[in-house]
Amino acid sequence: MKLIGFFLFLIMFTQSCVSQNATNKHFEPGKIWKDTDGKHINAHGGGIYFEDGTYYWYGEHKDRSSIAQVGVRVYSSTDLFNWKNEGVALAVSTDLDSEITKGSVIERPKVVYNKKTSKYVMWFHLELKDQGYHAARTGVAISDLPTGPFHYLKSYRPNVGVWPLNFPLKNQETQKNDASLEWWTPEWSAALVEGLYVRRDFEEGQMSRDMTIFVDDDGKAYHIHSSEENQTLHISELTDDYLDFTSRWVRMQPGGQNEAPAVFKQEDTYYMITSGLTGWAPNPARSFSAKSIWGPWESLGNPARGKRAEVTFNSQSTHVLPVEGKENTFLYMGDRWSPKNHIDGRYIWLPILIKDEKPQIKWMDTWNFADHNAIQP
């Protein structure tokens, strides 16, 4: 019996080693995705940075809840299929007075490299401990290495005391009845479009929740974030060191209720994918295009195609990755949230095709870049 037990152990151990060392050659959206140690990848709401043949995937380390207990984790890969756990890039603080102390909310981390300062810059949505989603801030951290450790600098309510570039002069005057308006009434909706919350937050700074960072061909960086009680997107230019705001910003789709922005550029056209406001539940994605980052942005409808397209394959956008070495190849990165157990959240990665100047995301159970269906409209 002892010999039989030994052989059973040996078989199980061998299978475990094979599983942990197996090489992924396909994307399988929605399936458990294991790193090179055989553990489920823990990088939710993430973004990817590429340098010298290596991709770095940054994301929220989740436990059962959405509250930050660890921080931002980073993984590395040379092929996008197989990911090595590089550890915690930005750790929560043990200082109870820190804005990023354990128990705060750290979401949607995005990392870019600043050539002028030779620093890696991480931005993320930050909510302060025990304040729910009231703070609506954006935090920034820097590092000398892509894997970190990142050093936390500060947080912002963006664009304090600055009107947006596309805000009419007549709307800059505070209306006496702003505070008395009730949500979801026609009067409230009209006031929202005319800048109800822009004026309210003018002196404190604008709200910043779901966000992303986009670096243009000229090296200019932009912070795109959901603001005005999640009713309107703001596009804000960052300073040359990517650590602050220049005071140049615009409102996008006032009252459009967009969040989870992901931006990419093909030739001279900017594209954006967003979601609606349904909490952790999925909804139909939205897509937009513009000839300038400042807009105007044209609405293009739901880019999802195929099974469960009406709920974006049970996912929400987080990032769009231009695949290195593959011209006009873009990768949709989405999260399939699991609010009852956040660590179990899955990843939906699918190719984005541009057809008739509109992005399309097609569902496939399994695929890779050699798949004919993945690269054809």
Once rounded to an integer, what is the mean pLDDT over residues 341-357?
A: 95
Predicted confidence at residue 322, as pLDDT, reads 94
Q: Both tokens of residue 279?
A: 């909490």
Q: What is the pLDDT of residue 22?
A: 55
Beta bridge partners of 317: 334
| Residue 45 parent element (H or E) | strand 44-51
What CA–CA distance (Å, rounded) separates 124 from 285? 22
Mean pLDDT in residue range 184-213: 96
Q: Confidence band (pLDDT; 50, 70, 90) for 373? A: low
CATH 2.115.10.20 is held by the domain 258-377:
yes
What stretch of H or E contains 375?
helix 372-375
DSSP letter at 377? -
**Do the bridges between strand 358-362 and strand 304-305 make them parallel or antiparallel, or are there none, so unpaired?**
parallel
Q: What is the pLDDT of residue 325?
A: 83
Tell me the C-alpha distance between 352 and 330, whole Å: 5
Give the span between the Cα atoms of 257 and 231, in whole angstroms.
4
Number of neighbouring beta carbons within 10 Å of residue 322: 16
What percent of the chain has pLDDT above 90? 85
pLDDT surpassing 70 at residue 167 = yes
The overall average pLDDT reported for the chain is 92
Contact 210, 233 (CB under 8 A): no
- 214-269, pLDDT tens digit by residue? 999 999 999 999 999 999 999 999 999 999 999 999 999 999 999 999 999 999 99
Please check whether residue 363 is in contact with residue 349, taking contact to mean a CB–CB distance below 8 angstroms.
Answer: no
How wide is the angle at C-alpha 177 spanned by C-alphas 174 and 180, nearest 5°?
125
373 vs 333, higher pLDDT: 333
pLDDT digits (tens, 9 = 90+) for 84-121: 999 999 999 999 999 999 999 999 999 999 999 999 99
Residue closest to 310 by CA, chosen among 326, 292, 286, 331: 286
Enter the tokens of residue 237: 């230019």
Which residues are bridge partners to 139 per DSSP? Answer: 124, 155
Average of pLDDT values for 267-289? 97
**Measured distance CA(204)–CA(159) in Å, rounded:** 9
Burial 256-267 (b: 16+ CB within 10 A, else e): bbbbbbbbbbbe
pLDDT tens, position by position, 44-74: 999 999 999 999 999 999 999 989 999 999 9
pLDDT value of position 75:
98
User: How far lies 350's CA from each of 13, 40, 232, 288, 302, in Å?
Assistant: 34, 19, 27, 18, 15
pTM of the model: 0.92
Q: Taking 60 as the threshold, does the pLDDT of residue 352 lie above it? A: yes
Give the rounded distance of the alpha carbon of 232 from its chain centre. Answer: 17
Q: In the chain, what are the domain boundaries? A: 258-377
CA-to-CA separations, 56 to 73, 211, 315, in angstroms, rounded: 10, 18, 21
Confidence class for position 371, pLDDT limits 50, 70, 90: confident
- What is d(CA 338, CA 148) in angstroms, rounded to the nearest whole number? 28
User: What pLDDT band is residue 8 in, cutting at 50, 70 and 90?
Assistant: very low
Whether 14 shows a pLDDT value over 80: the answer reads: no
Q: What is the pLDDT of residue 273?
A: 98
Q: Which of 210, 213, 249, 203 is nearest to 230 (CA)?
A: 210
pLDDT tens, 309-338? 999 999 999 999 999 888 888 999 999 999
The pLDDT tens digits of the residues spanning 113-131 come to 999 999 999 999 999 999 9
pLDDT tier, 4 (very low <50, low <70, confident <90, very high otherwise): very low
Supply angle C-alpha 35, 38, 41, rounded to 5: 40
